[in-house]
C-alpha cells in the first residue's frame, strides 16, 4: 500500500498524512481477514501525483492509496 497526498501543506505533515492514510487502509484490510504480514504500508507524501495540483479536482485525485500486488 502506498499512501499519497496533494502538495498542500509542508513536507513533514504530508509525509505523516500519507503514512496514516496507508496504515488506515492496512488496518481495514486486516479487519477483513487479510494477514498483517502480507501487507506493507508506506507514505509517499506528494512525490507521485497522478493529476495536477492546480485544481481542487486534481488535488482530490492525488489524495489516495495505491494497492500493488507482488
Where along the chain do its domains lie? Answer: 2-61
Q: Is 56 exposed, middle or buried (0-12, 13-18, 19+ CB in 10 A)?
A: exposed
- What are the residues facing 42 on neighbouring strands? 2
> pLDDT digit string (tens) for 16-47?
999 999 999 999 999 999 999 999 999 999 99
Fold classification of 2-61 is: 60s Ribosomal Protein L30; Chain: A; (3.30.1330)
- Mean of all residue pLDDT scores within the chain: 97
The confidence score (pLDDT) of residue 70 equals: 83
Amino acid at each position: 500500500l502506498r499512501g499519497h497526498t496533494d502538495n498542500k501543506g509542508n513536507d513533514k505533515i504530508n509525509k505523516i498524512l500519507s503514512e496514516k492514510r496507508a496504515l488506515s487502509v492496512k488496518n481495514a484490510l486486516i479487519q477483513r481477514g487479510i494477514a498483517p504480514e502480507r501487507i506493507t504500508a508506506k507514505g509517499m507524501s506528494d512525490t507521485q501525483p497522478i493529476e495536477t495540483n492546480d485544481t481542487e479536482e486534481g488535488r482530490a485525485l492525488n489524495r489516495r492509496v495505491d494497492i500493488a500486488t507482488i
